[in-house]
Amino acid sequence: MTPITDRLVFPATELFGRVEQQKTVLEKCHKRGIAKQIVHVTGLSGTGKTVLIKKVGEELLRKGILFIEGKFDQTGSRAPYSAVAAAFNEFITWVLSRDRTEFEQWKHRIVSALKEEAELLIDVIPDLIHITGPRPPVSPTSPMAEKNRFEYLFKRFIQALTLPENPFVLFLDDLQWADSSSMDLLRAICLDPKLNSFVIIGSCRNNDRYADNPWILLIDELEKKDHKGEITRIDLQPLAQHDVGEMLARIFHCDHDEVVPLTELVVNKTGGIPMLIKEFLLSLETKKILKKNGTGWTWDVRKTRYRSLLPGYAVWTAGSWIF
């Protein structure tokens, strides 16, 4: 339960309006012993793509299903494979935390899969050396041959991590900013028919600016190549007014009927985008339009009519964004 304080507190463990989407992703991740699954999550910025999948990840980890994640960064590292490396370094850290018997089992599977070519992956996943130990350098070859060898070896690595009884889930966030090397690797993985009990969850923005990004084009390509049964599309829409009302009732610890006028205002100002809802409410609090009064909250929506309450943010009007 969200605690009652003198400041706005947003529910940290609850999703609003995303029950069906969460159920769909969990079902795909729980399937055992079948061909790989690809979950393609899209939506406008701020609709909660990352929050949804992180919530799924928490549930999977509680049930003993391996879940790792990496995020591509618009302003940060553009190094090849940055998000992939972050995700699998997270997995290596997990392996290193296992007891001696389980660690040796994982080590045997990984070393057996990579053999003498482990150095190729250590260059991208540095923490892997703590499992394989130092490995001899691989013989040099042409750039194209090295790329093909790396992608083949990475697929062998994934095969070593998956078991029919225990699916392995990889979440890559903000794929609209993925580098070309990562996309080539993902394409090789997605097209490989031998990978089983492996789930890739990819999220990206779906507005016009990113309509031609390589991840979306890859999903389209896979569907045309008879991989449609492996792909699940989830497009997160802005929250419906009812869901926004449920969120506000939970935040303010009151009945749904009590927040109807505020709900209408919030939807009108934010379009139901969860990130903007949070910013809008914080703005109302800063401007003293939302006030703590004893054990509850009060507000006067009339005071918002002529105010600009979201400086620096896009404004949602008539179903579109105005910048």
Helices 143-161 + 180-191 axis angle, to 10: 50
The reply to whether 232 and 247 lie within a common domain is: no
pLDDT of res. 164: 80
**Domain end point (choices 195, 211, 236):** 236
pLDDT of res. 20: 95
**Structure letter (DSSP) for residue 9:** -
pLDDT of res. 249: 93
pLDDT of res. 245: 96
b/e sequence 100-119, b meaning 16+ C-beta within 10 Å:
eeeeeebbebbeebbeebbb
| pTM (predicted TM-score) | 0.88
The reply to whether 222 and 270 lie within a common domain is: no
Contact 90, 68 (CB under 8 A): yes
140 inside domain = yes
pLDDT of res. 32: 66
pLDDT of res. 210: 63
The reply to whether 70 and 160 lie within a common domain is: yes
The reply to whether 216 and 258 lie within a common domain is: no
The reply to whether 264 and 153 lie within a common domain is: no
| Count of structural domains within the chain | 2
The reply to whether 245 and 182 lie within a common domain is: no
pLDDT of res. 307: 53
Give which of 63, 100, 65, 70 is closest to 88, Cα–Cα: 70
Give which of 238, 231, 312, 232 is closest to 277, Cα–Cα: 238
65 inside domain = yes
Full domain range(s) for residue 257: 241-322
102 inside domain = yes
The reply to whether 218 and 188 lie within a common domain is: yes
pLDDT of res. 230: 86
The reply to whether 216 and 248 lie within a common domain is: no
**Domain end point (choices 236, 267, 296):** 236
215 inside domain = yes
Q: How far apart are CA 61 and CA 169, in angstroms?
A: 10
The reply to whether 165 and 137 lie within a common domain is: yes
pLDDT of res. 208: 61
209 inside domain = yes
**Type of residue at 279:** E
117 inside domain = yes
48 inside domain = yes
Contact 309, 287 (CB under 8 A): yes
C-alpha 182: how far from its chain's center? 16
pLDDT tens track, the chain, 323 positions: 445 557 888 887 788 999 999 999 999 988 766 778 999 999 998 999 999 999 999 999 999 899 999 999 886 556 889 999 999 999 999 999 999 999 999 999 999 999 889 999 999 999 999 999 988 888 888 989 999 999 999 999 999 999 887 789 999 999 999 999 999 999 999 999 888 899 999 999 887 666 678 899 999 999 888 776 789 999 999 999 999 999 999 999 889 899 999 999 999 889 999 999 998 898 888 888 888 887 788 888 776 654 555 544 444 443 443 43
| Domain harbouring 35, CATH code | 3.40.50.300
